[in-house]
Amino acid sequence: MTTPAGSADTNLPQTGASRFDEHRPPERELLDDCVHCGFCLPTCPTYQLWGEEMDSPRGRIYLMDLAEKGEIELPGPFTEHIDRCLGCMACVTACPSGVQYDRLLESVRPQIERNVPRERSDAWFRNAIFALFPYKRRLRAAAVPGAFYQRLRKIPAVAKLAGKLPGRLGAMESLLPPVSVREAFARLPVHTPAVGERRARVALLSGCVQDVFFHRVNEATVRVLAAEGCDVLVPREQQCCGALELHAGREDSALARAKREIAVYEKLDVDHVVTNVAGCGSSMKEYGHLLDDDPEWAEHAKAFSARVRDVHEVLADLLSDGGPRAPRHPFRGRVAYHDACHLGHAQQVRSQPRDVLRSIPDLELVDLPEAALCCGSAGIYNMLMPDAAADLGARKAANVRSVEPDLVVTANPGCLLQIGKHLGQDLPLLHPVQLLDASIRGVAVPRS
């Protein structure tokens, strides 16, 4: 059927007009940086899984380019292939042309969340995640039935039923962290003074999931920093940093959280704002960029981000400035270090955790094969895309076993849960600061 002259068939896609709205669409200059050379392909987890061009970084950039030119719609294949991306940023590390895929993905995911309706079940599941995880009080409340459930799960019949949960529900159940009600409700001291002469004054982001389910990591972090000469402040007013929401494209709520955190920490007279969670640190270091178009917050955000440091960066600087202050007791064993993607790729923090671990006498540090390849955690990816995440988790676990370690360390709670799920109970998994803390105190290394 022909369309009468002077009229338009609104059911047909109109090429030439960008499919992105006007709020921070992907920049043409960044899209044009990609020369489609293919150096990203070996490091991209989804391309390694499926060998599908549109599930590679250059393929996704091609889709962004088409949408920007108005040649494809956002619903459908565009959203499908962007959703499949883990956001691990291994491609950013691998790219010889300096393509800023992180900036492109950061601009495109909010476009999808604003402009593409989700199926009801998908929307419900995502909303349920974000109604819980960014809220420490809700997580603490959930820890009570969680602890009870984990006792029940030791009953063979309950474990068998749990193993039959389908898809996303099964993935969520299998990733439940070890729950201790006592630790979930524990609080860090507001101020822990430096041991001996003060070398630095820092504030610690205690986190959400980190503080409730990995409180021992926070306790170890405070002890290690204090032992190395840092005054450590943990402001009570702090809340979620917005990292999970930011990585999922929920820009408005993420930036609202960012502003709250900036307001809390800029009141403190500290040298650094320290984080021990890779995902949180990568987001907090980006506040300056994310808020650079907000006249009220731009300068505040830039100053805040300039002070954010991963705990390994702070400890490595202290090591290089006069060596370790706290004596270390030996650890005689092989330790496999897994680079969390948002620490190694997003923050480019690779040597510092290794330097910190090598300060422990007799420790043998080993790297993993395919070290740049994501474990499949990627924020909430292992709950949203359980099959792909499971394949990547099994692959990472096999690489861990291949180096025959006595212990595995990684600096992100999601990685600890994901790798632990696929390794089982064979090997202890810790945050690096837990191992360092045990060495400094001369106590047995914890198993988790």
Chain segment 320-365, per-residue pLDDT in tens: 998 899 999 999 999 999 999 999 999 999 999 999 999 999 999 9
Instruction: Write out pLDDT tens, residues 49-80.
Output: 999 999 999 999 999 999 999 999 999 999 99
Strand order in the sheet with 407-409: 363-367, 333-337, 407-409, 429-430
What whole-number percentage of the chain has pLDDT above 70? 96
Report the DSSP beta bridge partners of residue 367.
337
Angstrom distance (rounded) from CA 307 to CA 284: 10
| Long-range contacts of 254-258, Cβ-Cβ distance < 8 Å, separation of 24 or more | 254/283, 254/290, 255/290, 255/291, 257/134, 258/283, 258/284, 258/287, 258/290, 258/291, 258/301
Angstrom distance (rounded) from CA 49 to CA 84: 11
Instruction: Write out pLDDT tens, residues 187-214.
Output: 999 999 999 999 999 999 999 999 999 9
Angstrom distance (rounded) from CA 177 to CA 382: 14
Look-up of token digits 């503080």: 211
Structure confidence at residue 316 (pLDDT):
98
**DSSP collapsed to 3 states, 239-276:** CCCCHHHHHCCCHHHHHHHHHHHHHHHCCCCCCEEEEC
Angstrom distance (rounded) from CA 364 to CA 336: 9
Residue 5 has pLDDT above 60, yes or no: no
Structure confidence at residue 153 (pLDDT):
87
Instruction: Write out pLDDT tens, residues 287-327.
Output: 999 999 999 999 999 999 999 999 999 999 999 998 899 99
User: What is residue 227's DSSP assignment?
Assistant: H
User: What is residue 231's DSSP assignment?
Assistant: E
Instruction: Write out pLDDT tens, residues 231-258.
Output: 999 999 999 999 999 999 999 999 999 9
Structure confidence at residue 15 (pLDDT):
55
Angstrom distance (rounded) from CA 427 to CA 411: 16
Structure confidence at residue 1 (pLDDT):
34
Q: 195, 274, 281: which is closest to 230 by C-alpha?
A: 195
Measured over the CA atoms of residue 345, residue 351, residue 356 and residue 361, the dihedral's sign is positive
Residue 10 has pLDDT above 50, yes or no: no
pTM of the model: 0.92
Q: Which amino acid is at 14?
A: Q
Structure confidence at residue 235 (pLDDT):
97
* CB atoms inside a 10 Å sphere around CB 219: 18
pLDDT interval class at 3 (50, 70, 90): very low
Instruction: List, in order, residues 6 or more apart from 375 with CB less than 8 Å away.
Output: 338, 392, 393, 396, 415, 418, 419
Angstrom distance (rounded) from CA 226 to CA 446: 20
Mean of per-residue pLDDT scores for the chain: 94
Structure confidence at residue 373 (pLDDT):
96
Angstrom distance (rounded) from CA 296 to CA 283: 19
Angstrom distance (rounded) from CA 445 to CA 448: 9
Query: 251-265 vs 298-307: helix axis angle to the nearest 10?
Result: 70
Alpha carbons within 13 angstroms on the beta-carbon side of residue 329 total: 10
Angstrom distance (rounded) from CA 113 to CA 84: 14
Residue 150 has pLDDT above 90, yes or no: no
Structure confidence at residue 436 (pLDDT):
98
* Cβ atoms 200, 318 nearer than 8 A: yes
Q: Which two tokens stand for residue 254?
A: 């993420």
CB neighbour class for 389 (10 Å; exposed up to 12, middle 13-18, buried from 19): buried
